Chains A and B, each alone.
Chain A
Amino acid sequence: EDQVTQSPEALRLQEGESSSLNCSYTVSGLRGLFWYRQDPGKGPEFLFTLYSAGEEKEKERLKATLTKKESFLHITAPKPEDSATYLCAVSDSWGKLQFGAGTQVVVTP
């Protein structure tokens, strides 16, 4: 059975304090790993897609990396507007899209 585990559950950062979020997964036939950002009361907003081990994607202060068993979302010099819940999801060979529980990030000035 597919499983997606995110850690930590919550992260409190000072503005400018870099950190990493982890997403470990077990899936039969990984077709893609996805990172999303979700603000309270809103639908998730797509950030990145990673397809194979060794791949990296970057957008502003965010960088996502992928290995065979986990993915990391690095937040470099975060700002208060980066506060959100970050969700990881995997798509398997059947097209099923499974999400982790998310990491709630709070960045204080």
Chain B
Amino acid sequence: DGGITQSPKYLFRKEGQNVTLSCEQNLNHDAMYWYRQDPGQGLRLIYYSQIVNDFQKGDIAEGYSVSREKKESFPLTVTSAQKNPTAFYLCASSMFEGNTEAFFGQGTRLTVV
């Protein structure tokens, strides 16, 4: 079955810790995206990548880092520099052209304890 897999579904982080959220796709998509969603709000773009070994900052990249070493994988690290990391994180992928629809994973809910 083709799709996007995010793990874990729930994640708890102590203040001052870095945590990494996993996103894997087997759709052979070129582009991948990370979004953050706060309660009752829309999706805000953190980072996006159109090809392997290249990525661009979105609107709220501060306190986050990514890597794109393989086409299938786009992990997101939430660093201790992110002041308010508690949120719902969504990963998506699409074909490179940018005019094709993106498909989403089921999300990771991160809570700082």
The CA-CA distance from A99 to B33 in the complex, in Å, is 12
The CA-CA distance from A92 to B56 in the complex, in Å, is 14
Establish whether residues A99 and B42, one from each chain, have CB atoms under 8 Å apart when the complex forms.
Answer: yes
> When A and B form their complex, which 9 residue pairs have the shortest distance between CB atoms, in order from nearest?
A43-B104, A101-B42, A95-B98, A31-B99, A32-B99, A99-B43, A91-B98, A31-B98, A46-B101
How many whole Å from A94's CB to the nearest CB in chain B?
8
Cβ of A98 under 8 Å from chain B:
yes
Establish whether residues B42 and A51, one from each chain, have CB atoms under 8 Å apart when the complex forms.
Answer: no
Establish whether residues B50 and A95, one from each chain, have CB atoms under 8 Å apart when the complex forms.
Answer: yes
Query: Would A87 and B43 be within 8 Å (CB), given that A42-B106, A95-B31 are in contact?
Result: yes
Establish whether residues B43 and A96, one from each chain, have CB atoms under 8 Å apart when the complex forms.
Answer: no
Establish whether residues A98 and B99, one from each chain, have CB atoms under 8 Å apart when the complex forms.
Answer: no
Cβ of A44 under 8 Å from chain B:
yes
How large, as a class, is the contact surface on chain A?
20 to 34
Q: A93-B98, A102-B42 known; 17 other A-B pairs, CB under 8 Å? A: A31-B98, A32-B99, A34-B102, A41-B107, A42-B106, A43-B92, A44-B104, A46-B103, A49-B101, A87-B43, A89-B43, A95-B48, A95-B50, A95-B98, A97-B102, A98-B45, A101-B42
Tell me the residues in window 71-105 of chain A with beta carbons closer than 8 Å to chain B beta carbons.
Answer: 87, 89, 91-102, 104
> Please, which residues of chain A bring their CB within 8 A of the CB of B94?
97
> Please, which residues of chain B bring their CB within 8 A of the CB of A101?
41-42
Establish whether residues B104 and A100, one from each chain, have CB atoms under 8 Å apart when the complex forms.
Answer: no
Query: Would A32 and B98 be within 8 Å (CB), given that A96-B45, A99-B35 are in contact?
Result: yes
Query: Would A96 and B56 be within 8 Å (CB), given that A41-B107, A44-B104, A87-B42 are in contact?
Result: yes
Tell me the residues in window 57-113 of chain B with beta carbons closer than 8 Å to chain A beta carbons.
Answer: 58, 88, 90, 92, 94, 96-107, 109
The CA-CA distance from A101 to B40 in the complex, in Å, is 8
Binary contact track B10-39/A, C-beta < 8 Å → 1, others 0: 000000000000000000000101010000
Tell me the residues in window 25-60 of chain A with beta carbons closer than 8 Å to chain B beta carbons.
Answer: 31-32, 34, 36, 41-46, 49, 51
